Each structure stands twice: as structure tokens, then as C-alpha cells.
Amino acid sequence: MAKVLMKGNEALGEAAILAGCRYYFGYPITPQSELPAYLAKRLPQVDGVFVQAESEVSAINMVYGAASAGARVMTSSSSPGISLKQEGISYIAGAELPCLIVNVMRGGPGLGNINPSQSDYWQATRGGGHGDYRTLVMAPNSVQEMADFTLAAFEYADRFRNPVLMLSDGVLGQMMEPVVMPAPKDYDMDSKKWSLGYTGKDKTARNLCTSIFMGQEELEEHNWSLYQKYQVITDFFKANKDLAVEEYLCDDAEVVLVGYGIISRILKTVVEKCRKRGIKAGLVRPKVLWPFPSDVFAKLADKASKFLVVEMSYGQMVEDVKLAVEGKKPVYFFGRTGGAVPSDFEILNEVDKIVRPD
């Protein structure tokens, strides 16, 4: 397929259609609005359904309904709207339904601002909603990955019967880059024999979608079975490291830079500039934020001497890196918050500080 120049939000929308997603429910918010606008135009052309809901609360519950009926379905929003979706995400996780939720992060807390940010990392990876559950979280760093990860996200969602969260940001959503659209996938919702409204001849009992388990033993059993599934997801990404993490010049790195999403693009430049100056720098870029690729950091902690985590927040993922490094090596942090994007120059300064302490 030929390269086309697209915004990240639009590339994600087109990729969702190629993944067989025909249902979108959402509510307008900047900086993700190009995505619903794109799908409002495209979905009717492919016999799909686009509904502008009355709120993010309703949108996620429409997703819950559509997913329970077997649809490949998605919603998208930006930070304040994602907060509103949390109850629904908890239900979707509890009822073990597949879907894609896109967060094009902006500055918070509160109404914050509409500039790019990474300050929803905790919300994304720690649950956000109530209860013992996990959401698979993916973090693209280019318009190409906005497309590629979307196809993968729908596959993971169906494979693990779990919601998948695409954690993007205002830069990735709005910037334009050339992208090669991935090949389309076939999807048949009647492959989900558990779905409501499935009427195949092999159906022997009615289908039920619920997240209530009144008995204490019943819920405990359900929660442990969820836990086991989360272990399976964790093991899957451990066994397929390339899907979960990108390592760049880490083999001989003394200082390992760590960042996800748009920050990782800047960090690559920083690593190259460091190398030119004789500083042995490397980069670890998690592509999947939950399950966190802890073992990669555990291994590097035996080789490298320092870690520097850079985020567009005042420090959230840095906690996961510290947990993985287990105090073996110092883990430094540099961040900009409130919608600011750090420059390579600023980060280089930080590297200088930790490499040549005065």
C-alpha cells in the first residue's frame, strides 16, 4: 500500500475500520476530535454505526452493550472524558468484554488544558475505576504506530476478552506523518458464541453478560480467574518482548533513558547526541505500559549504571521503573507538566547533570 500523509487521530480511525471495527460511540473533546469526525464520515460508508452519545458515561456504556453483543467496538476521548468512563471500564473488565478505548491525553488535573500531556499514566495502568482489574495499555509513538497498534489492540482485546486502552497524547493525535495502512482483517461477530443475540444452531443455553457475583466465594473465584488471565497476558508479553518494548543502543549503555509515546522520539535524538559527545546512552521505550516490561529493566539494572526517566508529567511511570530496578541503580527523573513538551536540549542538560555530577 502507498504511503499517505495523515494525522494520528485519523490514522487510528482508518486502522480501526481495517481491523473490522464498525461501531464507534463517543463525545466531543479536544485534542481527539479529529478521530470521531473521521469516523462519523467513514463508518456510514462501510455500513458501520457512529453515535454521538450524550456524555462519555453513556458512550462507554454503549460500548459495553455493543461489546456484549459481539461487536468490535471502540470509543475515544481525552483525559477529563476518560475519567468519566472509568465506571464503565470497570464493568467491561469485570464482565470480560473486548473493546478499544483511546485516550488522547491532555493536561490535567481538572479541566487543565488542551495541550499534550502524559499525566494519565497512573489512571491508565492502575485501573482508574473500582475493583481488582487490569486494562491492557498500549503506547504508540508515531502516526504509523497509531495505525498498527490499533489493529493489534483489537486482536488482543478479543484474544484476552479484555478492554485495551490506547494511551496517546495531543502531539501524536494531531501531528501528520506518512503512514502505510496495514492490511485489513476479516471479522465475524458470530465467532463470539458467548455474545448476546448470538442465534447459531449450536447455542444450547441463553447468554448472560454480568459483573455482579453476590456471594463472597463467587466473586473471589471470579477475581482469581481474572488474575490468572492477567498472568497469561503478562506472560504473553514477556515471551514476545519485541511487541512490548523497544531497546535502542542498550547493550553497552551506561545511562539508560526511559520514555514512552512522543517522549521516546525526543529521547532517541538525545541518545544520538549523547553518543556524539562520548556519553554511552541508550533508550528503553515501553510500547505496552501494562503489563509493564519490568524484566527488561531488571536485566539492564545489572549492566547500566544509571536510569533517567522522562515524562510529560511530574513523574508517574518512574515509579514502575524504580520497582523494576529494585534499588540496584539510581533512577533519576525529568519531567515537564501542564502541557509542556521538553526539548532535546533540556533533556541533554539533565543527562549531563547525572553523568557528571559536580
Partner 1 sequence: MKQVFGKTNVLSANPTHYCPGCDHGVVHRLIAESLEELEVADRSIGVAPVGCSVFAYDYFNIDFNQAAHGRAPAVATGIKRTRPDSIVFTYQGDGDLAAIGTAEIIHAANRGENITVVFINNGIYGMTGGQMAPTTLVGMKTQTSPYGRDAATMGSPIRVSEIIATLESPAYVTRVTVNNIANQIKTKKAIKNAFTLQKEKKGFSFVEIVCICPTNWGKKPTDAHKWLTENMLPVFPLGTFKDIHGIEKA
Q: Which stretch in 1-9, 31-39, 194-202, 282-290 sits in contact with partner 1 by CB under 8 A?
A: 194-202
Report the residue from 11, 16, 51, 102 that binds partner 1 according to the rule CB under 8 A. 51
- With the C-alpha atoms ordered 17, 82, 57, 199, is the resulting torsion angle positive or negative? positive
Residue 1 lies near partner 1 (rule: CB under 8 A): no
Q: How far apart are the first and last CA of the chain?
A: 53
Q: Which stretch in 69-77, 119-127, 271-279, 308-316 sits in contact with partner 1 by CB under 8 A?
A: 69-77
Q: How far is the CB of 64 from partner 1 (least distance, A)?
A: 6
Report the residue from 37, 84, 114, 189 that binds partner 1 according to the rule CB under 8 A. 189
Binding track, positions 11-50, relative to partner 1; x by CB under 8 A = ------------x-x-----------------------x-
Instruction: Look up residue 249 and give its three cell numbers.
Output: 543502543
Residue 84 lies near partner 1 (rule: CB under 8 A): no
* Alpha carbons 342 and 348: distance in angstroms, whole number: 10
Partner residues linked to 247 by β-bridges? 284
Please say which residue, 50 or 334, places its beta carbon nearer to partner 1.
50
Nearest Cα residue to 287 out of 96, 136, 75: 136
Report the residue from 9, 32, 58, 118 that binds partner 1 according to the rule CB under 8 A. 58
Binding track, positions 200-229, relative to partner 1; x by CB under 8 A = ------xxxxxxx-----------------
* Alpha carbons 264 and 278: distance in angstroms, whole number: 21
Q: How far is the CB of 164 from partner 1 (least distance, A)?
A: 17
The answer to whether the beta carbons of residues 236 and 264 sit under 8 Å apart is: no
Residue 157 lies near partner 1 (rule: CB under 8 A): no
Q: How far is the CB of 67 from partner 1 (least distance, A)?
A: 7
The answer to whether the beta carbons of residues 39 and 11 sit under 8 Å apart is: no
Nearest Cα residue to 13 out of 55, 47, 50: 50
* Alpha carbons 123 and 356: distance in angstroms, whole number: 35
Q: How far is the CB of 226 from partner 1 (least distance, A)?
A: 17
Cis peptide before 357 (omega within 30 of 0): no
